[in-house]
Amino acid sequence: MRIGSHVESEDPIAGAKARGADVAQIFLGAPQAWKDPEVLYPGGARALREAAAEADLQLVVHAPYRINVASTNNRIRIPSRTLLQKQVNAAAEIGAIGLVVHGGHVGADDALEVGFDNWRKCLEKLERPTAVLIENTAGGEGAMARGVDRIAALWEAVRAAGEENVGFCLDTCHAFASGEPLVGLVDRITAATGRVDVVHVNDSRDPFGSNADRHANLGQGHILADDLLAVIRDADAPSLVETPGAYLEQGTDIAWLRERL
């Protein structure tokens, strides 16, 4: 089982080494912008791919937060589809095992079914040279991937579009904050999706069911350690912390996991 963290985009090899990580997640560009993906590693995509392979470092890319292919707003949905395709292509070029993207949401007056169908339409046209990993989210009444029931409905749209190179990223803080008990969660998710490809291992600053997406360092939030560890063991997938801090704090979280696993 590979364990790692989100690291700086400029040199994920050095960032992973400093933290003791053997899998690293990065952004390819500003996470809050609509800009095209950019590989900041010296030498570009090929150099990063080769350096990661030499270091035996698995790479994951996280898509910008603005992407929302479920939206009924054309000014959001259409640019989201375009940027998602560019991000998938760029992730494939650096040899990433997948691109994590949030499930997105519809507006307060929109039916959830419209958002699910917008995902189907997106995936039908999306080329997938690497896996698109849809991530569960913490809150929002119109969220596509909040809770197992909605994830199951979303996966009906995924299956209708074709499941090839579409996977799932399970975030422990998001699940906890959305009101999903972590005990048995992996079994419930895999019953809906058939798979868990990556785990985001985050403690929660806020209580169960708070709908607040606020990560805490491991053992310092509201999630019981045994529940957190059970998710990782049950998923048996690359696991990444997205916890506060950098080398020291995230390195401590990675060591915390290795010791207990």
Domains of the chain plus CATH, in order, are: 3-260 (3.20.20.150)
- Give the residue carrying structure tokens 């007056």: 109
Residue 151: phi, psi to the nearest 5?
A: -60, -40
Helix (H) and strand (E) counts in the chain = 9, 10
* Single pTM value for the model: 0.97
Instruction: Quote the distance between the C-alpha of residue 174 and its chain's center.
Output: 11
User: What pLDDT does residue 139 have?
Assistant: 87
Residue 26 bridge partners (DSSP): 61
Q: Quick one: DSSP state of residue 66?
A: T
CB of 70 closer than 8 Å to CB of 119: yes
167 three-state secondary structure? strand
Per-residue pLDDT of the chain (261 residues; tens, 9 = 90+): 899 999 999 999 999 999 999 999 999 999 999 999 999 999 999 999 999 999 999 999 999 999 999 999 999 999 999 999 999 999 999 999 999 999 999 999 999 999 999 999 999 999 999 999 999 999 889 999 999 999 999 999 999 999 999 999 999 999 999 999 999 999 999 999 999 999 999 999 999 999 999 999 999 999 999 999 999 999 999 999 999 999 999 999 999 999 999
CB of 175 closer than 8 Å to CB of 186: no
